[in-house]
Structure 1
Amino acid sequence: MKYQLQPSLAILDENGFTTLAGWAIVYNTDAITKEYLGATYQFLPVGVGLPALAYLDAPKEVDDDHAIVRQNDKWTYPTDYRGKKIYSIETGVESTVTTIGNIPDGFTLLKPNSEFDSWNGKKWVLDKEKQHQYEIAIAQSQLTQLLNDINEEIGNLQDAVDAEIATEQQTELLKKLKGYRFKLNQIDVDKAPNIGWPIKPE
């Protein structure tokens, strides 16, 4: 033929060397992970083989949950959760998948509903005891702060009374604040969050 309307195609022998120079579609992979990177046209002179990490056989299409990886001279299609959030079944702490393959042991794609959830082997369930202990700790912290504040205020007023420089109003307030402190000391933080906090007298 006077004109060649199509590019010449390379022909390779059984050893992978070009016997007829021409173009070939090659499928390239990453040097480290062997993940498929994309297809390119490559001109192959006579006597040479394919470039490193390139193959003539095409991989198949996959969905977003799988990757294309070359292993043992064939294409494989492992699960691929890269970029997705996973959660430690021990702590519920969130992290992001960065490698191809199954979700690491000890993690799940299911997000906890609260910081008090525990993993039961299949799903997250509310750990009422963990929640209650947290509420107790919050109540204890609040009670400690209130007692510290009121002890300081009572101490100042008591000094004034002892020095006989307190006004009648300050003396009366001191009595009320001592009553308030007494009520604080009767609080059972184990009943959190159902605690009736006394109102501080003004």
Structure 2
Amino acid sequence: MIQFDQQGFALESGEITVYQTNSNNEFSGATTEFVSVGGGLSANSYLDAPPNVKNGFAIVRENNSWQYVEDHRGETVYSTVDRSSFEIKELGKIPENYTAVKPENDYCDWNGMQWVINAEKQAELKASQQAQVWEKIKQKRHENGRAGVYVESVDKWFHTDDNSRQQYIFLRTLENYSTLQWKTMDNSFVALDKALLDELSLVILNNEQADFTNAETHRLNMLQAENPLDYDFSTGWSETYGN
């Protein structure tokens, strides 16, 4: 093995294994280099071997020796104060007031060891989700009531959009009117007289009442659900055209 004097110059020529670091003084690998008598090692090269690789640590040259330094590069850490996050780019410990443990949601607080759900905030979150789903249920009820009704006596589906509803209401205000040729949802025509109008109006009313009841049933069941956003309110509605 080649010997070096106290100033680091080789006492003879030959090849030697050296351990190198990058610009951040982090161990980058071993290589063999030729040293001439009187010469020294190349920059960032050392004779003593670094310790074994250690999970979660980088090996760094500090104070003329190899040191383990925590390596969290590429990890996302979260503020224990406001839950904001960033990706670590440098060697070293996780910064103070940050943790690598991701909070479940914006309603968690850090208790010094782990994230815990804030009961008050959790209740607010659930109430907000319930309100969202209830609006969707009401929207479904509204859309269902405007997707047509089936009148059995003539075996036809009638429009129930807002314009059609207004026309039905207007016709019912008339004491007498001539029988009308009324266009149905399959683009055919039927004779709409007062008896058929009464039947049609009753079907619309019954469907609406059934859908109101179904909406309320879904609302009560949804309020009991652990996760309101996962609640399925697609069942129990009155039949609509094409379904």
**TM-score, normalization by structure 2:** 0.59
Q: 1:82 touches 1:100 (CA, 8 Å); kept in 2?
A: yes
Unaligned 5+ segments in structure 2 are: 147-160, 172-191, 226-232
Counterpart position of 2:95: 104
Other-structure match for 1:140: 131
Structure 2: distance between partners of 1:98 and 1:167:
74
Q: Which deviates more from structure 2 when the two are superposed, residues 38-47 or residues 82-91? A: 82-91
Give distance in 1, aligned partners of 2:237 and 2:163: 16
Alignment correspondent of 2:166: 159
Judging changes above 3 Å, is the alpha-carbon distance between structure 1 residues 92 and 172 closer, same or farther for their aligned structure 2 residues?
Answer: farther
User: For residues 76-96 of structure 1, what are the alpha-carbon distances to aligned partners after superposition, in whole Å with 9 as ceiling and x for unaligned?
Assistant: 211234455655544386x76
Partner deviation per Cα, 1:138-188 (whole Å, 9 max, x = no partner): 322233234345177373563142232773343224434268559969x99
Indicate the SS of the match to 2:7. Answer: coil
The structure with more radius of gyration: 2
Match of 1:172 in 2: 202
**CA deviations over 1:42-96 (Å, ceiling 9, x no partner):** 2100222111110112222352132210123322211234455655544386x76
1:102-161 per-residue CA deviation (whole Å, 9 max, x = no partner) reads 12334324455x435432221122333333333323322233234345177373563142
Mapped partners of 2:52, 2:214: distance in 1: 72
Q: 1:91 maps to what in 2?
A: 83
Normalised TM-score (structure 1): 0.69
Where do 5+ consecutive residues of structure 1 fail to align? Answer: 1-8
SS of 2:52's equivalent in the other structure is coil
CA distance in 2, matches of 1:129, 1:169: 52
Q: Which secondary structure state, in structure 1, belongs to the residue aligned with residue 15 of structure 2?
A: strand
Counterpart residue number, 2:223: 193
Correspondent of 1:131 among 122, 126, 131: 122
Q: Confirm or deny: 8 A CA contact 2:108 2:116 kept in the other structure.
A: yes
**Residues 11 and 22 in structure 1, CA contact (< 8 A), matched pair in contact too:** no
State the match for 1:5 in structure 2: none
Q: Which residue of 1 aligns with 2:229?
A: none
Percent of counterpart pairs with the same letter? 27
Native 8 Å contact 1:80 1:101 kept in 2: yes
